[in-house]
Amino acid sequence: MKPIRLMRGFLTVGGWTMASRVLGFVRDAMILGFLGTGPLYEAYVVAFRLPNMFRRFFAEGAFNMAFVPMFSKKLEAGEDAEGFARDAFAWLATFLIALTVLAQVFMPWMIWGIASGFSGQTTFDLSVEFGRIAFPYILFISLAALLSGVLNATGRFAAAAAAPVLLNVLLISGMAVAGWMGGDVARTLIWMIPVAGIAQLVLVWFAAKRAGFTLSLRLPRPSPEMKRLVVVAVPAALAGGVTQVNLLVGQQVASYFDRAVGWLFAADRLYQLPLGVVGVAIGIVLLPDLSRRLKAEDTAGSRHALSRAGEISLALTVPCAVALLVIPVPLVSVLFQRGAATAADSAAIASAVAVYALGLPAFVLQKVLQPLFFAREDTKSPFRFALWAMVVNAAVAIGLAPLMGWLAPALATSLAGWIMVAMLWRGTRPMGEIARFDDRFRARIWRIVLASAVMGAALWGASVVLETALNSAGIRYLALAGLIAVGIVVYFACGTMIGAFRLSDFRKAARRGG
């Protein structure tokens, strides 16, 4: 993949992810407006997190991190990539069907395992009910993730990136109809989750079929390639599991504080916007590209791709982190405070957003550095690093809870993110020049930080001037848009003047396909 095509792929994925995240804000604002932050909302959070947790554990964290490099190399070598994908599809489907059946039986124990603080409360029973309805989502979305991996490896990013938009469209539509008809919004919301999973699977299945890859359900069959896939996938699954353990530790701690599970989840949704648009997009596009370059022994091209991925990810992420630190209250109150969501909820969520912002650049850098290992089919090293990060996360979250209360898990997450980056960076040393950022990256990074600091000062001043407007129901959306516009203009103007980036880099990447 040419460098400009790599950037085009990033912008395609990032653009669709941005659309999904914007709709996600609409979805989350509606949920908070309808449900508030009480038992129904917390039960929804726990139930929705279960299939998403297992999806990241198995599909995105394990199967795709093992599958995409192997599939990409088969494509590059002209081997039977389609047959390999069909076998992987069959094995993943079989495993997920069995997991879904078991989850229905053991759901009460699963809920206790991730939110034991709910025991004896109405929230626990609601979580079990909602969890049983939502869990089959993992079957559909994980198979969709594998098909998305096939599309991404062939340089077709649009359909896979657009699929998550369906989830938000269907959830928003379901809530709107239920609210308009006076129905049960909470249960409509939960039932729409597996429906959305089916829709996403159908979309990427047809996209893969148009690309020449027709995958269907069949009995799995053992083969040396599938054995190799499992050998590579298991450490990746464990690494993904460690990340999910971090989330579970945080949720367990939060479940002992009233409404804290909902507050942390809402804060997570806000900082996930730049993480999803930048970090996930970079990871999706960079992994197959590095895999192909390693197969072709293109060291210079691999280093250039890594440097440009790191450069653009930090150029877009560092200012986002600064903004989340400087103006969390205006962002949260305007986006989420309505209906059953109160000013107290906004203040609590904003506190968590600011803490998560400290770790945002680290979360994105992980997405940039991990493909260096996965492209070599090395999933054991990231697993070892993730274990250490898990220990830090658990120690901080549990140890500081008596002092910081429910905010301790957010601080633990950010700190563990930086520990993970440090270990990933140290682990790339034996890889040589391919894992070193080039001179252009090193020259620009400090300028990116300086431009972000200037933007932060401008945002703080503008938020003081616009304080009354930001709290006015009639014009608060316009005031927030103006505040964000100030930040964008100041950042890009300052960044261009001091050489942090060139606007032409973004324009060329958007226009050309390589």
Q: 48-52, 359-363, 491-495: lowest mean pLDDT where?
A: 48-52
- Dihedral, CA of residue 51, residue 69, residue 166 and residue 42, to nearest 10: 30
The pLDDT tens digits for 407-445 are 999 999 999 999 999 999 998 888 877 778 888 888 999
The pLDDT tens digits for 364-382 are 888 888 878 877 777 788 8
The pLDDT tens digits for 229-239 are 777 777 766 66
Of the residues 381, 408, 437, which one is the last residue of a structural domain? 437
Check residue 240 and give its pLDDT: 58
Residue range(s) defining the domain that contains residue 491: 438-514
Check residue 9 and give its pLDDT: 54
Same domain, 393 and 443: no
The pLDDT tens digits for 131-162 are 999 999 999 988 888 888 788 777 776 677 77
Same domain, 310 and 443: no
Of the residues 400, 421, 437, which one is the last residue of a structural domain? 437
Q: How far apart are CA 175 and CA 188, in angstroms?
A: 7
Q: Average pLDDT for residues 159-187, to the nearest whole number?
A: 88
Nearest of 496, 414, 418, 482 to residue 454 by alpha carbon: 496
Same domain, 342 and 419: yes
Take residue 257 and report the two structure tokens written for it. Answer: 């504080």
Same domain, 246 and 97: yes
Of the residues 437, 461, 488, which one is the last residue of a structural domain? 437
Q: Using an 8 Å Cβ cutoff, are 114 and 46 in contact?
A: yes
Q: Evaluate if residue 286 carries a pLDDT over 70.
A: no
Give the count of domains, the chain: 2
13 vs 47, 76, 405, 451, 458, CA distance in Å?
27, 22, 37, 26, 30
Same domain, 432 and 442: no
pTM for the structure as a whole: 0.71
Same domain, 19 and 168: yes
Q: Evaluate if residue 11 carries a pLDDT over 60.
A: no
Check residue 295 and give its pLDDT: 63
Same domain, 352 and 418: yes
Same domain, 424 and 459: no
Q: Evaluate if residue 3 carries a pLDDT over 60.
A: no
Same domain, 382 and 277: yes
Same domain, 312 and 421: yes
Q: Average pLDDT for residues 476-480, to the nearest whole number?
A: 90
Check residue 509 and give its pLDDT: 46
The pLDDT tens digits for 289-343 are 666 676 666 777 778 777 877 888 888 889 999 999 999 999 998 888 877 778 8
Q: 409-418 burial, b if ≥16 CB within 10 A, otherwise e?
A: bbbbbbbbbb
Same domain, 228 and 285: yes
Share of the chain above pLDDT 70, in %: 86
pLDDT band at 1 (very low <50, low <70, confident <90, very high): very low
Check residue 329 and give its pLDDT: 92
What percent of the residues of the chain are helix, what percent strand, and what percent coil, each to the nearest 5? 85, 0, 15
What is the per-residue DSSP string for 444-470?
HHHHHHHHHHHHHHHHHHHHHHTHHHH
Same domain, 254 and 121: yes
Check residue 63 and give its pLDDT: 62
